[in-house]
């Protein structure tokens, strides 16, 4: 078997055989297939797709590249959640401790930023002392003692995906539905969770721009999970506008803590509670009230224990960028559109994301929003504040914001898009 023949098969719109898939995943994991060769194959998959048989075999090969975890020793049922990535999507941060406070165990294996979308691990690493890398034993201990853990997948868990995930981020192949589905589900199935809720984003700030593609991705992942014995459900949620009022690592942590304290933006609270209800239902917990757990402080208690158990200081001051630039409203009226993609690219260009897989991110960089669609604004009012340690990035970020928002005359009727668009089970 050789990698050139595998690339040519998919380049020419052929179906990869089980043997080709098994070989190329194993060879890439071992370093026999080079990054530039796997990049070519990933691009061929993006352009020409995979059928369900290929995706299932690709996912199985990713799982087989490493170990599988088991949580049978826990006294609680396990429930996990995964988002396909969005702008301002900090939902995992309040969600994991909230579901733990309601009686489930949440083994949340998370990733880093992909393209214009933020990464949960990058966000949490803005907390002084917090560690993303845990051994399997440490992960199980944190999960057992606090009810929730958010960490990176260990080197032994789907190592093929770890390499390919970083490669896709810097080669323009993030949006490939087969690669998204297999990346997510290989980790989640190998992780060993009993149930899984998928948050499939739809809109300009998501990798799935239209609801038909989102449904295809959701059905593919639900099928992969169900076939592997994991109770899986997906919510399709709107990502045409950023979630909440922040996009950036420390900025989003700060907003997440506000939600756990009983405040925070209404859209973040609504989606957090909706996903919590799905996770608890999938785990067989019927009598818990997530809204109450947010209001009575029990979710915050679990957050503090979870952060401390991973070396973080929940009371530490979060990093703040050295430089700010305010974008003001050019006219008065009603803000009717705020494009999530433009805001995400601006945050990425300010330093909240990475251009190469080895690049560091700035903890304090990002975009802070002062208005959302439906709000009335006046000329000269701040619309958003850009944060960065490197002010030479402002012009580059501002260029990505050109044409990303619309202001209509005062009194213009505005109808908000629902956050939850569909449910696939």
To the query of whether residue 168 is one of the catalytic residues in this protein, the response is yes
| The one catalytic residue among 81, 82, 112, 215 | 82
Q: Tens of pLDDT along the chain (425 residues)?
A: 899 999 999 999 999 999 999 999 999 999 999 999 999 999 999 999 999 999 999 999 999 999 999 898 999 999 999 999 899 999 999 999 999 999 999 999 888 887 788 899 999 999 999 999 999 899 999 999 999 999 998 778 889 998 998 898 789 898 898 998 999 999 899 989 999 999 999 999 998 999 999 999 999 999 999 989 999 999 999 999 999 999 999 999 999 999 999 999 999 999 999 999 999 999 999 999 999 999 999 999 999 999 999 999 999 999 999 999 999 999 999 999 999 999 999 999 999 998 776 788 999 999 999 999 999 999 999 999 999 999 999 999 999 999 999 999 999 999 999 999 999 99
To the query of whether residue 82 is one of the catalytic residues in this protein, the response is yes
Angle at 422 between CA 343 and CA 198, to 5 degrees: 70
List, for residues 404-423, the tens digit of each pLDDT value: 999 999 999 999 999 999 99
Nearest to 197 by CA among 286, 82, 105, 61: 82
The pLDDT, as a whole number, for residue 357 is 67
Inter-residue contact 58 to 221 (CB < 8 Å): no
Other residues' Cβ atoms within 10 Å of the Cβ of residue 401: 20
- Name the DSSP letter for residue 83: E
Contacts of 86 (CB under 8 A, 6+ apart): 117, 201, 205, 206, 239, 242, 243, 340, 344
**Can you say how many angstroms the Cα of residue 148 is from the centroid of all Cα atoms in its chain?**
17
Write the class of the CATH domain 323-408.
alpha beta
To the query of whether residue 161 is one of the catalytic residues in this protein, the response is yes
**Can 80-163+190-309 and 323-408 be said to share one CATH topology?**
no
Contacts of 205 (CB under 8 A, 6+ apart): 86, 87, 116, 117, 239, 240, 241, 242, 339, 340, 341, 343, 344
| The one catalytic residue among 90, 112, 187, 387 | 187
Copy the structure tokens of residue 334.
């009603």
| Domain layout of the chain by residue ranges | 3-49, 80-163+190-309, 323-408
To the query of whether residue 228 is one of the catalytic residues in this protein, the response is no
| The one catalytic residue among 22, 161, 169, 267 | 161
Tallying the residues shown for the chain, one arrives at 425
Q: Let me know if domain 80-163+190-309 sits in CATH 3.40.710.10.
A: no
To the query of whether residue 187 is one of the catalytic residues in this protein, the response is yes
Residue 182 falls in which region: left (phi positive, over 0), alpha (psi -120 to 50) or beta: alpha
| The one catalytic residue among 81, 116, 163, 168 | 168
Nearest to 13 by CA among 39, 58, 43, 49: 49
Contacts of 349 (CB under 8 A, 6+ apart): 393, 396, 397, 400
Q: At what angle do helices 18-30 and 35-48 cross, to 10 degrees?
A: 140
Copy the structure tokens of residue 70.
């088991």
The pLDDT, as a whole number, for residue 174 is 84
Nearest to 282 by CA among 36, 114, 80, 74: 80
The pLDDT, as a whole number, for residue 219 is 95
């Amino acid at each position: 078997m050789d990698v050139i023949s595998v690339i040519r098969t998919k380049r020419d719109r052929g179906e990869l055989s089980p043997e080709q898939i098994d070989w190329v995943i194993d060879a890439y994991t071992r370093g026999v297939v080079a990054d530039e060769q796997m990049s070519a194959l990933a691009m061929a998959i993006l352009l020409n797709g995979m059928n369900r048989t290929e995706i299932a075999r690709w996912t199985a090969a990713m799982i087989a590249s490493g170990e599988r975890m088991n949580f049978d020793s826990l006294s609680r049922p396990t429930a996990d959640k995964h988002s396909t990535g969005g702008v301002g999507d900090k939902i995992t941060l309040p969600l994991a401790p909230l579901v733990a406070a309601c009686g489930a165990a949440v083994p949340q294996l998370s990733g880093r930023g992909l393209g214009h979308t933020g990464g949960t691990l990058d966000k949490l690493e803005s907390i002084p002392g917090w560690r993303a890398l845990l051994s399997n034993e440490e992960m199980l201990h944190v999960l057992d003692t606090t009810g929730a853990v958010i960490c990176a997948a260990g080197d032994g868990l789907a190592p093929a995906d770890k390499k390919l995930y970083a490669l896709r981020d810097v080669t323009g192949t993030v949006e490939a539905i087969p690669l998204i589905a297999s990346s997510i589900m290989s980790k989640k199935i190998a992780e060993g969770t009993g149930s899984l809720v998928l948050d499939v984003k739809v809109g300009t700030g998501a990798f799935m721009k239209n609801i038909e593609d989102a449904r295809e991705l959701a059905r593919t992942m639900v099928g992969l999970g169900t076939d592997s014995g994991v109770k899986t459900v997906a919510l399709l949620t709107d990502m045409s506008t950023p979630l909440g009022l922040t996009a950036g690592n420390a900025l989003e942590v700060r907003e997440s803590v506000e939600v756990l304290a009983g405040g925070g933006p209404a859209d973040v609270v609504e989606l957090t509670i909706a996903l919590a209800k799905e996770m608890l239902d999938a785990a067989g917990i019927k009598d818990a009230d997530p809204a109450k757990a947010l209001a009575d402080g029990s979710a915050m208690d679990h957050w503090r224990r979870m952060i401390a158990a991973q070396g973080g200081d929940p009371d530490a001051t979060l990093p703040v960028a050295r430089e700010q630039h305010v974008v003001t409203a050019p006219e008065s009226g009603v803000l009717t559109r705020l494009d999530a993609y433009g805001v995400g690219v601006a945050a990425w260009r300010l330093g909240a994301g990475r251009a190469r897989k080895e690049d560091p991110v700035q903890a304090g960089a990002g975009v802070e929003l002062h208005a959302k669609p439906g709000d009335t604004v006046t000329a000269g009012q701040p619309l958003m504040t850009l944060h960065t340690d490197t002010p030479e990035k402002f012009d580059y970020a501002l260029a990505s914001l050109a044409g990303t928002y619309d202001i209509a005359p005062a009194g213009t009727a505005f109808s908000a898009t629902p956050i939850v668009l569909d449910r696939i089970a």
